[in-house]
Amino acid sequence: MNNYQWIWSYVKKNKKKVITATLILLANSFFVVIIPILSGRLIDEVIENNQVQLLVPILLAMVGATLIRTVTRYIYQLLYEKVGQDAQFDIRQDMYKKLQELDFDFFNHNRVGDIMARMTGDMDAIRHFVSWVCYNIAECVVWFVVAIIVMMNIDWKLTLGLVAVTPIIFIFTQKMSRAAHPVFLEIRESFSRLNSMVEENISGNRVVKAFSREEYEIEKFNHFNNDYQKRNLDSANVSKKYLPWLDGFAGMLAVITLLLGGLFVIQGSMTIGDLVAFNGFMWLLNMPMRMSGWLINDVQRFNASCVKIRNLLKTESQIRVEERKQTKKISGYVTFKNVSFAFSDDPETQILKNVSFAVRPGQTVGILGETGSGKSTLVNLIARFYDPTEGEVLIDHVNAKEWPVRKLRDQISMVMQDIFLFSNTIEENISFGKPFLNIEQIQRVATIADAHNFIVRMPEGYNTIVGERGVGLSGGQKQRISLARALAKDPSILILDDTTSAVDMETESKIQKELNQLTQDKTTFIIAHRISSVRDADFILVLDKGEVKEQGTHMELVAKKGLYYDVYKRQLGLVEQEEGGATIGP
């Protein structure tokens, strides 16, 4: 499918509007021709032949024709605009939907600024094509055809002489088209890089300031800003190479008419009146040719943006989102059978190696391990943000791949390590997973997460708007709000990835007590570094470089005197040391 067929698939549903608009455009061309004819008649009949009685009718006809012409043009312009807007709207919806479906892997490797560029600048090039370029091309074609017909009627030989020049123009447009295409692709790429750089600068503004790297950032920006400027000049270079030629050949038509027509008149095969009339319609033939170069630029801009947008739409998520309806509620059995995992871009490095364990509903699993040992990846497999490279993850004894993804995720609540809050009210942030929660329910989960107290102390309480990503809140506050958000969903499986790391231990233990009440029939995973966070779990997995090195209850693992014991000793030791060396033990 080429770009034109593709865009047609979005325009198709407005077929009636397109046809109507095009018919009006065709009818309109009649008035485009009639107005100069009328003014010609006015001079010939009224002024030269002194037929004053014709003055008022001709003037009225002229005014009327203009009125009709302008009103109809206004109508078809708006119709095309509407068609363009509708197409843009639909493509944008498709893009948005696609983005919602794409997997983590995609977002790990595509920059926000680049995606934004596609959603804005590229989208606009497409809108411009449908709502402006298309009807301008149509106008040009119609005028060209009308001009040929009218001119054929006046003198077919001369017309053929002119038409003979058109292949040259055609060759030039083809050449220019080919030259412009890569330049516009470069412009779009450069735009996307510029957008990405600025986006990152805005997101990272705190780090920039903390290191007072403003000048360095400006230097970086200059690089991209200059590149974008340069790419645009490249496009001007293509234009300046071809456009003067196209314009010149269009002008040549008038010279040919003058010379050839003059010779015909001198020969006697054409009257001078015909030559004047012929010349009067010259602009109709000229205009489309002059426009052709500019339109080619627009068409190539459209093509370049199409590539970017269609590439995104073509990207397939590795995690397929099935539309299949499944209403079964998950009870919370989670089984890992010899699961191994590596990221697709680095298949050599195994993040998880042969992990096996089984959890029953109501159980709590603690996960402990060094930085980068695969803890977050392990829980990401449960919610199917990635699929294992080997082995299988079973949810309620069914392979996670068999579950409809959204249904599965709907029953799993995950508090991710990277807290993301939306720039919205706290209330709406908490009810994110369950939009129709009432305020009592929101306050209840906030209380469990020990967030209620600090929320009500804020100037606008639950209606306080937090900045993007929750800036302005402390780490502990963000963690507690996102915990409340996870709890609001009332999931079957609750996953807490380092959720209380920025909360003091006393608050943590308070939260844990509340959680224990709430999660009696749920499966809970807790990733943490503090022994105090995982101590009460039904069993604890100790990960080391992707492998489960130890597995058991707190007591069992302490008795084992392995990795877990080592961490325990270190954390407790610091306390013990101070208190005068009490014995370490369970």
Of residues 323-362, those binding another protein (CB under 8 A):
343, 346, 348-349
Question: Is 40 a residue that touches another protein (CB under 8 A)?
Answer: no
- Distance of closest approach, residue 50 Cβ to another protein, in angstroms: 9
> Which span sits near another protein by CB under 8 A: 174-182, 354-362, 500-508, 518-526?
500-508
> Which span sits near another protein by CB under 8 A: 140-148, 230-238, 302-310, 514-522?
230-238
Beta carbon nearer to another protein, 338 or 423:
423
From 100, 327, 438, 583, residue interacting with another protein (rule: CB under 8 A): 100
- Distance of closest approach, residue 313 Cβ to another protein, in angstroms: 15
**Is residue 353 classed as helix, strand or coil in its secondary structure?**
strand
Question: Is 315 a residue that touches another protein (CB under 8 A)?
Answer: no
How far is residue 202's CA from residue 34's CA, in Å, rounded to a whole number? 57
Question: Is 503 a residue that touches another protein (CB under 8 A)?
Answer: yes
Beta carbon nearer to another protein, 70 or 311:
70
Place of tokens 């807490």: 496
From 207, 324, 439, 561, residue interacting with another protein (rule: CB under 8 A): 207
Which 6-25 residues touch another protein, going by CB under 8 A?
Answer: none
Q: How many residues belong to the site for another protein (CB under 8 A)? A: 179
Long-range contacts at 35-40 (CB < 8 A, ≥ 24 apart) = 35/62, 35/65, 35/66, 35/69, 36/280, 36/281, 38/62, 38/65, 40/277, 40/280
Q: What share of the chain is helix, strand, coil (3-state, %, to 5)?
A: 65, 10, 25
Which residues does residue 543 pair with via DSSP β-bridges, in sequence order?
369, 548
Which 380-399 residues touch another protein, going by CB under 8 A?
Answer: 383, 385
Cα-based distances in Å from 236 to 190, 298, 299, 304, 444: 16, 13, 15, 16, 63
Check residue 367 and report its DSSP letter: E
Would you list the DSSP string of 492-558?
Answer: SEEEEESTTTTS-HHHHHHHHHHHHHHTTTSEEEEE-S-HHHHTTSSEEEEEETTEEEEEE-HHHHH
Question: Is 142 a residue that touches another protein (CB under 8 A)?
Answer: no
> Which span sits near another protein by CB under 8 A: 149-157, 357-365, 386-394, 574-582?
574-582
From 505, 516, 520, 561, residue interacting with another protein (rule: CB under 8 A): 505
Neighbours of 13 (CB within 10 A): 13
Q: Which two tokens stand for residue 531?
A: 């022994």
From 40, 57, 182, 467, residue interacting with another protein (rule: CB under 8 A): 467
Question: Is 509 a residue that touches another protein (CB under 8 A)?
Answer: yes
How far is residue 477's CA from residue 455's CA, in Å, rounded to a whole number? 9
Question: Is 417 a residue that touches another protein (CB under 8 A)?
Answer: yes
Q: Which of 555, 431, 563, 531 is nearest to 484 (CA)?
A: 431
From 17, 82, 337, 560, residue interacting with another protein (rule: CB under 8 A): 82
From 7, 83, 115, 130, residue interacting with another protein (rule: CB under 8 A): 115
> Which span sits near another protein by CB under 8 A: 146-154, 355-363, 389-397, 419-427?
419-427
- Distance of closest approach, residue 555 Cβ to another protein, in angstroms: 8
From 173, 305, 376, 523, residue interacting with another protein (rule: CB under 8 A): 376
**Is residue 207 classed as helix, strand or coil in its secondary structure?**
helix
Which 542-561 residues touch another protein, going by CB under 8 A?
Answer: 554-555, 558
Q: Are 41 and 58 in contact (CB under 8 A)?
A: yes
Beta carbon nearer to another protein, 315 or 507:
507
Check residue 364 and report its DSSP letter: E
From 5, 327, 440, 457, residue interacting with another protein (rule: CB under 8 A): 457
Beta carbon nearer to another protein, 369 or 388:
369
Q: Which two tokens stand for residue 74?
A: 């206004």
- Distance of closest approach, residue 177 Cβ to another protein, in angstroms: 17
- Distance of closest approach, residue 131 Cβ to another protein, in angstroms: 8
Beta carbon nearer to another protein, 109 or 338:
109
Beta carbon nearer to another protein, 77 or 340:
77
How far is residue 391's CA from residue 561's CA, in Å, rounded to a whole number? 30
For 123-165, where are the alpha helices, taking DSSP H only? 123-128, 134-154, 156-163
**What is the three-state SS of 397-442?**
CEEHHHCCHHHHHHCEEEECCCCCCCCCEHHHHHCCCCCCCCHHHH
Beta carbon nearer to another protein, 51 or 153:
51
Question: Is 435 a residue that touches another protein (CB under 8 A)?
Answer: yes
